[in-house]
Amino acid sequence: MADESRKQKESVVVTGASGFLGGRVCHALVEQGAYHVKAFVRASSSLQELPSTGVELVYGDITDTSSLLHAFQGCSAVLHCAALVTPWTPNPSKLFTVNVDGLKNVVKAIRGTSTVSKLVYVSSFFAIGPTDGKVVDESQMHPGDCFCTEYEKSKVLADAIALEEAKNNLPIVVVYPGVIYGPGKVTEGNALVSLVKERCNGRLPGKIGKRQDQFSFCHVDDVAKGCVAAMNKGRIGERYLLTGENTCFNEVFSLVDSLRGQKSLQFEIPMWSLEMVGWLSVFWARVSGSTPNISPPMVRVFKKQWCYSHEKAKRELGYESRPLKEGVAQFLTWMESSGHIPKQ
């Protein structure tokens, strides 16, 4: 009976399915009830982000083309969410192995199948580039001559591959999430939750700079639904920003303080001080093998503005980004119930 049901459903594979975004994409697909969802995961991956039912586990690695080819057999669509997300790593080559070569492997595997009719590649706002003083759309191309982080560089290189493959008739749609936040893994890809955790536990002594930073904040479930919409409605070869409200981190912290009824921070941490702490954190990370809470590349990101319009995705995909206040209130409730921050 289960096999009969599977035959009637469109098979879709999600790479990076055990990750922060990939897991929510699997949830969004399962909730629609129209797909046989194949979750592509490594054997060592934690499966806690995945739905408890409704997915088939397919084991492999993004660096192994043969495992991708096996996973893609019989699938009509691939949602490529797998990525290494970090502003700093002692071994930057891993970023390019996963984010650049990984996309090449996905493309090669798709070209080796006869059933895949669409690839949704999850890029990043970093691939669009900084927007200092403006709010930009998908027409902006990254200048490619200066990068705040090696992660940014890897996503720009991967984006160039995606756009070139689109010219070569690969059925690809590229989506660009902003700063994703929400319930789930507390990783470097879920940076807002990590910073709010530091703030609410008293380990962030002040505001970050003088509100010169600007980012586009989007809830993970909205982005996940946007990825599914891109699979169903996205035009081949097009780019879609899956972003949200544009504001600075200090405004988010003020919102958190207001929602929790706690006193707002008044002291402003200057950027030069953050950069000094970043260098010390990186030094300690190299000695101890730990992950630095802040690094010089991260500080460089905070010195820029990253503001985007998601009107195209709203118009063509039906993408909706919930108000930041609503999303933050929801994830604060989750953080309290999960023990990440004390209950008020």
pLDDT digits (tens, 9 = 90+) for 213-269: 899 999 999 999 999 999 999 999 999 999 999 999 999 999 999 999 988 877 888
CA–CA distance, 140 with 309 (Å, rounded to integer): 11
At 192 the pLDDT is 86
Measured CA to CA in angstroms, residue 334 lies from 29, 40, 330 at distances of 22, 27, 7
Share of the chain above pLDDT 70, in %: 98
Q: Of 100, 97, 102, 83, which Cα lies nearest the Cα of 19? A: 83
The per-residue pLDDT for 1 is 35
Q: What is the pLDDT of residue 2?
A: 45
Q: Kindly report the pTM of this predicted structure.
A: 0.94
More confident residue, 4 or 274: 274
- How do the residues of the chain divide into helix, strand and coil, expressed in percent and rounded to 5? 45, 15, 40
pLDDT tens per residue across span 139-198: 999 999 999 999 999 999 999 999 999 999 999 999 999 999 999 887 777 888 888 988
Least confident of 95-109, 113-127, 188-202: 188-202
**Residue 34 pLDDT level (bands cut at 50, 70, 90):** very high
